[in-house]
Structures are given as structure tokens and as C-alpha cells.
A and B are shown apart, each in its own frame.
Chain A
Amino acid sequence: VFSVHMVGEGSVSICRSAGKATSSPAENYLLARRRTLQVVVSALLTESGFESAEKAAVETLTEMLQSYITEIGRCAKAYCEHTARSVPTLSDTVVTLIEMGFNVDTLPIYAKRSQRMVITAPPVTNAPVTPKALSAGQKRTHPAHIPSHFPEFPDPHTYIKTPTFREPVSDYQVVREKAATQRRDVERALTRFIAKTGETQSLFKDDITTFPLIAAQPSTIPYLSALLPSELELQALEETDSSEQDDQTDGENTHIALDDPGADKENSMLPPSGVVPSTKASEDNVIDNPYLRPVKKPKVRRKK
């Protein structure tokens, strides 16, 4: 009875407050409850005639008891919610117990047994203070078509989209500064890393770490890396091609400069991107260039 009683209390009104004001009241509360359960288990054991028990055994039994009680609570709450209520009634509990295979009829007798031990109520601890939900803004009242018994609106912050963003650093100078520093740091770190992990050369004999130079490595085909644009450059070029710079360039340079002899002649050095004569495509098939002709087979038969 005691235990059941405890269940009822525990699961229904968790809000009973007690205990010392420690750093975490919720924790204290849980600890106190647990301690009480332990006492109950010990009492029951004593009642059954045990004189001593291993701590682990007690712990296990406590755990079992706790699960059992928790399950009852959970189930009872489910029943009650199932019937569209918010507070469980006795019948909910009873149904639960029956459902769990407990003979409810035996309960009053058990509760009234003579050898039961009375356990002092657990020290009153302060139920943990649920931190006040941050109330942002005014809670909305129900509109006319919603009956008042329906739950209230939650706090506005849970459903209202508040566009929050930090004011971007719009100061051009700071942006450039940042970009420059960032790039420099990356480059420095990267080169230092490579220098640290590979062979280096130094400008000073006494100090080879302050200005480490990545050692020069001859390559077998040096002109490739020296002439071909790096992938990074190509990538950058692709990006700029599609960006605003292109608008200016296409019109200005490839065509105008060519037409106007007075204009900057060198502008005409821009790639005539796709300015290949339009006839080209159609003529492709008829290009007669000796280097494109197929290689002939040797004239074997004639020789024979």
C-alpha cells in the first residue's frame, strides 16, 4: 500500500517540493525519492525475514521496483489521456494494475497486514523549479472560433519566425582586411607545413627555421607547370566568366577594339572565344589537311 501510495503521489504530483536548496533541486529530488525507495525495499526485505542484503541486490530490487512503479504511472497516464482527461483517476490506476497482471483485490488486505513497517515520509524536498519559460512577446489569445478550453497558445517564440541575423560587416575596409589576413594566414600556414614536412633550403646558416624555403625540385617536364594555368586559376576564370566582369569585357574588347584602329590595340589580344568563323562547323568535314589524312597501309602485295 505504501509503495502504491507512493506511486500515486510520485507520478501524479511530482511537484512536491522539498530538500535543501542545492545547486540542482531536480537532482536532489530524485535522489531523495530513490533513497526512500531503497528504504522501502530494505523494509520489505526485513519483513520477509532477511537479516542482511548485499548492496547490489538491494540496488537491483530498487531498480525493479522503480521500473514497476514508473510503468504503472506511465500506463495510468496513458489511460487517462485516452479518455481525454489530463489527470489520472483511481480507475485508471486500477485498470493499469489489472492490465499488468496484478490482482487488485489482494491490495487492501496487503495494505492492512499487521507486520507492515511504517516508514517515515521522505524528507520534504523542494520540487525542482521549472525554469520559467522565456516569455517572448505577448501570448496570443484564442480567436473566436476556438473554444476557450483548448490549450492556450504556446509562447510566441515557438511559432513566430523572427528573422534574426547579425548586421553583416558592411565596412569595405574591414572585409578586405579580413580577406587579406585570412589568405595570408592560410598561405603562411600551408607553406610552413609543407616546409616542415619536406626538404628545405635556408638563407641563413645559423637559423634554418625562421625563413624556411621549400627546396627546389627539378621536374622532368618543367614547361608544363610553367605554362599551363593551374586548376585554381582556371576555376577562378570560370567563376569570373559567369560573373559581372564578363558583361563589360565581351562587348568592349573583342569587338570594339578590333574595329577601331585608334583604340587600344592590345585589347584585341583577348580570346576570340567562339569567334571562329561560323562556316567552320559546316566545313569541318571537308578540311583537307595532309596531317589529318589516314595513314596508308604498306603496299605488301605489290612487292611480292
Chain B
Amino acid sequence: MNRKKDKGFESPRPFKLTHQVVCINNINFQRKSVIGYVELTIFPTVVNLNRIKLNSKQCRIYRVRVNDLEAPFLYNDPTLEVCHHESKQRNLNYFSSAYTAAVSAVDPDAGHGELVIKVPSELWKQGDDLKVLKVYIEFSLDQPKGGLHFVVPDVEGSMAERGAHVFSFGYQNSTRFWFPCVDSYSELCTWKLEFTVDASMVAVSCGDLVETIYTHDMRKKTFHYVLPIPTAAPNISLAVGPFEILVDPYMHEVTHFCLPQLLPLLKHSMSYLHEIFEFYEEILTCRYPYSCFKTVFVDEAYVQVSSYASMSIFSTNLLHSAMIIDQTPQTRRCLAQALAQQFFGCFISRMSWADEWVLKGISGYIYGLYLKKTFGVNEYRHWIKEELDKIVEYELKMGGVLLHPTFSGGKEKDNPTPHLHFSIKHPHTLSWEYYKMFQCKAHLVMRLIENRISMEFMLQVFNKLLSLASTASSQKYQSHMWSQMLLSTHAFLKSISNVSGKDIGPLIKQWVDQSSVVKFFGSFAFNRKRNVLELEIRQDYTSSGTQKYVGPIKVTVQELDGSFNHMLQIEENSLKHDIPCHSKSRRNKKKKIPLMNGEEVDMDLSAMDADSPLLWIRIDPDMSILRKVEFEQADFMWQYQLRYERDVVAQEEAISALEKFPTPASRLALTDILEQEQCFYKVRMQACFCLAKIANAMVSTWQGPPAMKSLFTRMFCCKSCPNIVKTNNFINFQSYFLQKTMPVAMALLRDGQNICPKDVLNFILDLIKYNDNRKNKFSDNYYRADLIEALTNSLTPAMSINNEVRTVDNLNADVRLILEEITRFLNMEKLLPSFRNTITISCLRAIRQLQKNGHIPSDPSLFKSYAQYGHFVDLRIAALEALVDYTRVERSSAELQWLLSMAQNDPVHYVRHKILGMLCKNPPFTKTTDSALCNEALVDQLWKFMNSGTSHDWRLRCDAVNLYYMLFGLTRPSCLPLPELGLVLNLKEKKAVLNPTIKPELGVGAVMDTPASIGIHGFNTMEDEDIDMETVHDSQAFIHHHLNLLERPSTPGTHTHTHTHTHTHTHTLIAEYRNTHTHHCRGHYIHVTSYKQALDNKKKPAKPGSVRRTSTSAGRG
């Protein structure tokens, strides 16, 4: 098996693609349509290649020719409508498996496709000499819903003047949405791309722009691109618009494009890109693989960053001027991500979906190295901790994330992730959240590998992979070298072992082949007699998302005499570890205490336990396990750790721990950290919030002014008049961030009555009043937005929350002041908009908070107006977030409908995605709660949406599935009426007589004639068990032949399903079920029993909840 892999990549197709031409000769912005053709040059690898399967969605195909001969073709997309039968069950389990089956049925990695072209018999009769075939396909796209996105602002003027543009987008391999291709990351070929566009526009695409030629009427021009480096179709992209062009002043082969009027921003934002280039080229000791690089900034982007071969498409909202502080690091991060993916992801592509983690891991890892270099070690470690916390939280909540799934058995039983409501077999069935976590885990695992084999070896491995690929890329197709450009898990691991000579098998097994994270609980006791630290490390490996860890773990103990590392071995049954201490307990003589980094410091040791030499203990300080550690040590130890441990991660851990110890000593430690300028600013920011919590817990004993007030005054207010803040000068970014954060944290303070102290509110109002940015080099929009956030944080519930009495006259005096500020800010923003409308966003949040706390009438209309298309996207998202919250709190069915209809119809894909995402995060109801909103109509609506309404956008479909899961759970939604008796009996009967080993003579016919019903459908699943894909497709062709479909090629439109079509498709689905039927049928059976139970219980009041529970538990068992 391994040897086989060594030889290279085995294509699932009976042919090999070598070259593809894409020619789009008309782009109509008015009608949002595209006309063009593709020509694929393929080498058959079998004799008698009679059928070619390609991927194509949405495209209307006019004609197909193979070597100039008209070829009949078939177009069948099972993902258009996942479940064809009007299933009354509305069962998500059923949907998920059907969806997986549909995606599998057209999966290019399995050699399938939506478009089946019959090679004219003249050609395949030629026999054995395996001649080159040229497949020519004419197609058009009309108002594409996916793949290409048109942005056409509704103003006067020509398309160019209006800033109209179009660009390709998609989640994973989605190129089939805009031209027919082999939509797989593992099918590489060279490309020739031609785009004819209006003379005022620029077409940016992959590869080198060879020439630009006017058309004969001189009104259009054609951009000719050649991409000589073998590239997979999903890495091909296009952007057309009246872009302003900026040639990078440092690297002339790099060109930047932005929309009209934004050139000054582009110049500034891109002024840094060359440093990222230099960095990657240096660490990888490898030149950037493509001969040019293009960045395009577009409006209404699908994601912030998407990388394609030699170009990246970014959201235009990443552009910023020199006045903006907060956006700058974010934009640089995005650029760095995009560039890292150019090397790993675009140039080196993945061999299969299961190898995705390697590419995401490497690009994420080198991106991390860039962060370390540019933003410093503190920032890097902080980021790693953040990412680790994120993945740990996700896995503990949702269950494991599996990096390298294997589907050996193919049976549902062997589903590696039974805890998930979606399949991880395909990228297109994955929930977005899961995929994000997947990427996060991938780069963390790469870091673990680095810890194991050293960075030097790691970079050598990358270099080796890149050199191999770049050698291969320059070869001709015939040398069969191109597969070297595909990276598999196996090749990666092999390379690691070759380079480092180390065996990282256990590591891979633990984190890559297995999902879940580790959860440690640690506690200790000091044995004075033996001068030994008795450390106990327990694990929780039974909860969901956890696994058992066996192996080494590092423990760092800071003693009086210094800091000592201990490697402990976590074994099956050993919980306790004895660690000998180096120091005797406290000595009286004053001596400096050496720290881990060699520094020696004076400490006030009066707080510590006189009997113990231990200052603090850290478990796994290097984060070399994907874990969560809950460690118990005394408050003074946390305080020492916060003050004296130099690692930011340790400081942050100490801050989180100190929340549980509201004592004056904690207060002092936090205040000291806040004041320390050498301390990392993010730690100081975190300390602010912790201090606020501690102050609230200590409210009865708190001495002096409100927490942080005097500190803020000292740091940011005028010496002569301490109540007035200095005029803004954000030249020191650390203090800027602190200045922004402290008021926000202070506003969380509460007095004995649990309201925000008057002092604090007035203090914040004064900050707003005296804010003066006239002399500042930087914009204060984020600062002002944070001051509004502070006002929001100061809000507490009103005395009476009755909606009727929320009138202006009844307004609380403080709230009135707050509301005045908000009104003024909101109105000023209309006249002088701030960068990314940050201030309006904060105001909207404040207004929602005022509503929620019962100060002003709860009313969605303001948010609705801001959520409209035509507002800046950040603003829309903020308004929608408020609406989602409103929907949940008020249980408003009208607003839920409004949101859902926007999720279905909004022109901006990102907004649609966000709406569903936010509804999932803050659902109007869940499967465990009763709600008037939960009704049959809603079930139907959502079901329809995910079944057929989202076929143009994988991500959106998965979002809809997520929401459905959130609202109704995996099994039949409780609000649906019980299924009818006849059906149940029918199913059961069939099952009883069923003999799965019997292979039907002509299963196809049976399917054709059987009326659609769920019971029958389940039954057929059984019948078709042994039919393999080939048979199915042959029979498919057979049917179509008989129906004369092949004679008159035509493409069904998005919604035109002929009767035949549907059935054929069903058949495909069923065939795919062969892998999953066992579980599936069991599922049905179980349902039957539960329904029976329910029927038996029918005399009692119906309790759908209990029924569901039964079925779920039965299903799991």
C-alpha cells in the first residue's frame, strides 16, 4: 500500500488532463451573464474510453465536441435537490446521508462528475493507440448564484464608472460553478485563459498576462493569460472590473488592483507586502513559485482572503489609510495568510481531501512564523494560546475534530465522527465552523511536529517539498512528474522522517489520525519531610471531545532557588508524580531569585507559605499537547506567576485563575501588571477585565476610588486637571490599546446595588466630552467606538421592564445622558462617517442593549433599516446581530421570517452566511426548548432551503444544515405530526421479508416504476446494495438512451427537473447508499419502534420529546 503511494498519485479517472483552455468571450454586467467555451486536452489511460465525466454546475451547456465531433452528453446534478421524495420525516440524519451521497456521486476525487460526455464511437473504435482527445464545451452562465459574483452598483453611468465588477469565489473546489472542468485539487494541468471584457475594464486571472488585444470594433479587449505551471482547476480564478492598477514599487512583477477611488488606500496597505515575500522566501529558501503575483480587492467578497494560483482575491474592506491603527495588523495578517497559501495550497496542492490538513497546517504554520517575526514572540505565543483555547473549547463542546479521516470500510458504522450531524467525508458537507477549527488544529499540530523535530528540520522538509514540486512543474506532462506537486499525508510524513530521522508516528496517531483533545486536572501537595512536590495529574477522557494522553509532559516548577523543568511520563495508571525540590524552604537571607530566562529578581516573599519553597508550577508550559489544563495552586502562587513569570501565556493563565481569588493581594498584583510598561499590552488588557471582576466581587470591602480610575487618570489625563483626558496622541500603540480598553473594563464595575457607580459613568461621559483628536496623527474611530461600548457596558436592567412604560418621560437620568451621547454619535456619523462605520456599529449594539435592559421600547425597525443592502457590510452584520438577538428574546416569528428571507435572497453571500451563523450562535429556540416559533411551516421552510434552496453555495447549505440541527436536532422535529400508520407498517413488512443478498435483476426498472414514497425508498436502499457505481452509471446511460435524451443534448435549467431526470438521479443516490444502508435501515427500524411506542402511548398526552429521546438513544446504542 505504501509503496504504491510512493510511486505517485493514482488518478481515479480513466484519463489524464494535460491542458485546458478557458475562453470567456462575453461578460454582460447588465444581465449578469457570461458566455464562453472550454477546451480540455486529455490523455485516455484506458483503451476504449467511451465516457468522460466532468464537473459542471449551473452552466448551460450548448454543445460538446470531442475532436471536432459532436458528442452527446448528460447533465445531472444530484446536489440541486438532495432529497427528492416529499419526506414527511424531516430527519436530519436522513438528509445528511443523502447529501453526502449526492456529493459523492459527483465527487471528482472519486472520478465522478455532473457532466457525462459520451465519446463518439468513431473515436473509441480507434482502439489502443490512446490518442489525445480534445473536449470542447460551449457554455453560458445566466445570473449565476454561485461561482461568480457580480457587483453592479445601481447608479448612473457606464459599468466602469459605476465600479461594477465580477469575481470568482467559492468554498473549496467550486470552479465547476463557472466553467466545466475537473474540479479536483489533484488533477493538474497547464492553462490558457482568455477573457474579453469592456475596454474600460481589466480582467485579472491566474498566470502571466501574455498580451492584451483590442477587438475589431475597439470597444473591447481580450486578456490572454498563460499558466505554464500545472495547476488544479479549483485554483483558477478571475476578477474583472474597472480596477485601478498599482505596480508594486518594490517588486515589479507584483501588481495590485483595487476599485476606483481607493488607490491611495491600496498604496498604503500594500506598502508592506514585499517584506512578507522576503520573509517566506528566506525561511523556505525557495523563490516564490509563480512568475508574477496579483492582489485584487473586491467588494462583497465571499471571504476576506482567498488564494489562487499566482493571485489572491481580498475583501476591499481590508484596505485602509495610514490613519487607521487597528486595521493595519489585521490586513497584514490577511496578506501573510494569502501568501503562505500561495506556496502550500496553490502551488503545492493536496492529493485528496484527507490530506487537506497538511497544506492548511503548513501554510498556517509558516504564517505563524511570520507573526512571530513581525509582531514579536509575545504576540505569537498569545496567538498560539488563543488558537489552542479555541480548538479545545470547540472540541469539548461539539466533539472531536479529525484531521486525517480514513474511510477504509466505507460503512456508516465506521463513520469516524459519529458525534457530528454532518459528514466529514467531503469538504462540501462540512460545517464552516468545523472547517475553521480544522484549520486551526492543523497548524497547531504542525507546531507540535516542530517541537518534536526542531524548526530547522521542519523548514528543510518544506524546502524539499517545494523543490520537488518546482522541478516537477517545469517538466512536460509526458514525464509523469506532475504528481510530485501533490502533497499527501504519507509523503509529508516520509519526508519528515527522511529529513529528521525521527519517528513522529505516535504524535501523528494521537493528533492527526484521532480526533479530540486532552483535558488535565492538576493539583499538588508539598511534602516537607521529603522535600518533594507531589503532583497529581488526572485526565478526563470520557467526556465528548476528549482523548486519553499517554506520553511525556513537561512541568516547570519555580522554586526559590530557580526554575526547573521536569519531564514526567503520563502513563496509564499513574496519577501521582513525585518531583524532588531543589531548594529548602524559605531562608531568611535576602537573595535574588533566578527566573527561567536567567533574569534574577527581588521578590517580596512575605505572601508565600513559609514551609514551602514553591513559587509557582506550570504544566505543559510550551503548549506541546493539545490540551486544557485546570491546575490548582494557591492564590499567592498565581500572583507570583503573574508578576514574575515572563511568559505571556503564563501571565494570561494567572490572570484567568485570579478571577477566583478576589483579594486585595490579587488586586495589587493586577494593578502592578497594568502599570508595567514592559509587560505585553494584551496581558495588561486582560488584566483590566480581571480587575473589574475582582472589584465587583470585593464590592463591600473595596477601598479607594473605583478600580483603574486613578491609574487611567495618571496615565492619560492632564497633570493640571485630572478630570480631563489629554488630547489624543496614539503614537505609542501599547498605551493606545490600553487607553481603549480600560474604560470598557471599568464600565463593568458594579456597586452594592449592582449598578454601575455614578463616578464611573461620569468619568466615561467626561472622556467622551473631552475627547480631542485634532492634534492626532491617527483616527480615533476605534477609541470612540470603545467609549460607546463602555457606555453600553455600564447599562443595567431598568426597574420596570414593562414595554408600555418605556417612554421618554420615564427614562432614568443616567440613561438619558447615555442616550444623548449615542444619538449624537449616531447622527454625526451620518455626516462624517468613521472608518468601517465602527461608531455606528457600537451605537447599534448600545441601542440593542438599552432595549434589552428595558430602558427603551424593544423595537426591531431601526436595526432592520441598517440591515438593508446598501449599507456597509460590517454595519449590516451588527444590525443583523441585534435582530437575531431580538428574535430570540421577543420570540418574534415575523423577525425570524424576515431574517430567513434575507438569508435566502440577499445579494451578498457573506451576509447570508452570517445570518445563518448568528442564528446558530444565538438560536431563537433549540431542540430542547419548547417555543411557539417551532412549527411545521418553519421546518418545511428550512428543509426546503437546505434541500434545494442552497445548491449554489456549499457553505450556505452547510450553514442551513447547522441551523436545522440547532433548532430541531438530528431526528424528526418534535413539532411535526406523527407519521401515518400505513407507512410504518409498510416499512416494517418490507423489512421483514427483505433479503439483502438477493440482487435484483433489473433494479433500475423497479425504481423507475415505483411511486416515490419514503417507505419504498428505504426499502430500495436495501435492494441496491450490491450494485456498484459502474453498473449504475451504465444503467443510467441505458435509460437515457432509451428516452432519446442523448440524441438531443440539452442542459436542464436550475429548476427544470424532468420526470426521468429525477428518477435517474434518485438511482444514483441509492447506489451511493450502498455504503451506508446498514445504519440507515437500522435507523428506520428504530424509528418504527419508537413510533410504535408513541402510538401505544397515544391515549396519554402526546409527548414528542420523549419519543425523540428514545430514538436518539437507540440510534446511538
Contact = CB atoms under 8 A, between A and B. Distances in A.
Contacts of B872: 222-223, 225-226
B321 A229 contact: yes
B807 A252 contact: no
A176 B827 contact: no
Interface in B385-442: none
B265 interface: yes
B272 A269 contact: yes
A298 B216 contact: yes
B734 A264 contact: yes
Interface in B205-247: 208-216, 218, 221, 245, 247
A199 B250 CA distance: 50
B319 A227 contact: yes
Interface stretch (A46-54, A58-66, A68-76, A201-209): A201-209
A219 to B, nearest CB: 6
Interface in A236-261: 236-237, 239-241, 243, 245-246, 248-249, 252-253, 261
A272 B274 CA distance: 13
A56 interface: no
Contact of B271 (A221, A253, A271, A290): A271
B996 interface: no
B819 interface: yes
A227 B835 contact: yes
B932 interface: no
Contacts of B835: 226-227, 229
Interface in A248-304: 248-249, 252-253, 261, 264-267, 269-273, 276-277, 280, 287-293, 295-300
Q: Which residue of B265, B824, B830, B837 has the most chain A CB atoms within 10 A of its CB atom?
A: B830
Contacts of B221: 295
Contacts of A277: 249-250
B833 interface: yes
Interface stretch (A96-104, A136-144, A189-197): A189-197
Contacts of A296: 211-214
A210 interface: yes
Interface stretch (A8-16, A105-113, A161-169, A179-187): A179-187
B774 A236 contact: yes
A270 B328 CA distance: 9
A215 B212 CA distance: 47
B870 A218 contact: yes
B901 interface: no
A229 B216 contact: no
Contacts of A195: 827
Contacts of A293: 211-212
A221 B163 contact: yes
A216 interface: yes
B316 A227 contact: yes
Q: Which residue of A211, A249, A273 has the most chain B CB atoms within 10 A of its CB atom?
A: A211
A130 B820 CA distance: 59
B827 A219 contact: no
A237 B777 CA distance: 6
Nearest to B725: A176
B733 A264 contact: yes
A214 interface: yes
Contacts of B376: 261, 265
A272 B322 CA distance: 9
B808 A213 contact: no
A291 B827 CA distance: 43
B212 A295 contact: yes
Contact of B252 (A204, A205, A287, A299): A287
B776 interface: yes
Interface in A92-135: none
Nearest to B210: A290
B721 interface: yes
Range of interface residues on chain B?
Answer: 35 or more
Contacts of B875: 222, 226
Contacts of A228: 261-262, 265, 321
A224 interface: yes
Contacts of B374: 265
Contact of A290 (B208, B729, B733, B777): B208
A187 B831 CA distance: 10
A224 B253 CA distance: 28
Contacts of B830: 191, 194, 214, 217
A173 interface: yes
Contact of A240 (B162, B245, B292, B777): B777
B375 A266 contact: yes
Contact of B823 (A213, A222, A261, A291): A213
Given A194-B830, A220-B870, A290-B209, A269 B819 contact: no
Interface residues of A, number: 80
B160 to A, nearest CB: 13
A227 B836 CA distance: 6
Contacts of A57: none
Contacts of B211: 290, 293, 296
Contacts of A227: 262, 265, 316-317, 319-320, 835-836
A294 B866 CA distance: 44
Contacts of A292: 245, 247
A220 B213 contact: no
B775 interface: yes
A270 B209 CA distance: 33
A172 interface: yes
Interface stretch (B177-185, B515-523, B856-864): B856-864
Interface in B789-845: 806-808, 819-820, 823-824, 826-828, 830-833, 835-837
B836 A226 contact: yes
Contacts of B262: 224, 227-228
A233 interface: yes
Contacts of A243: 775
A227 B775 CA distance: 21
Contacts of A201: 861-862, 865
A220 B980 CA distance: 53
A90 interface: no
Given A291-B209, A296-B214, A240 B775 contact: yes
Nearest to A188: B824
A225 B833 contact: yes
Contact of A297 (B162, B214, B321): B214
A227 to B, nearest CB: 6
A296 B221 CA distance: 9
Contact of A266 (B250, B328, B859): B328
B422 to A, nearest CB: 34
A28 to B, nearest CB: 59
Q: Which residue of B221, B261, B733, B857 has the most chain A CB atoms within 10 A of its CB atom?
A: B733
Contacts of B379: 265
Contact of A216 (B154, B319, B832, B866): B866
Contacts of A271: 268, 271, 322
B247 A289 contact: yes
Given A201-B861, A249-B731, 11 more contacts: A172-B720, A191-B830, A191-B831, A222-B875, A224-B262, A227-B262, A266-B325, A273-B322, A293-B211, A296-B211, A297-B213
8 contacts: A203-B862, A204-B808, A216-B862, A219-B870, A220-B154, A222-B871, A223-B259, A290-B208
Interface of B: 153-155, 162-163, 199, 202, 208-216, 218, 221, 245, 247, 249-250, 252-253, 255, 259, 261-262, 265, 268, 271-272, 292, 299, 316-317, 319-323, 325, 328-329, 332, 374-376, 379, 718, 720-721, 724, 729, 731-734, 769-770, 772-777, 779, 806-808, 819-820, 823-824, 826-828, 830-833, 835-837, 847, 850, 856-857, 859, 861-862, 865-866, 868-875
Interface of A: 172-173, 176-177, 179-180, 184, 187-188, 190-191, 194-195, 201, 203-207, 210-230, 232-233, 236-237, 239-241, 243, 245-246, 248-249, 252-253, 261, 264-267, 269-273, 276-277, 280, 287-293, 295-300
Enumerate the 4 nearest inter-chain pairs by beta-carbon distance, A residue then B residue, closest first: A218-B870, A191-B827, A271-B322, A290-B209
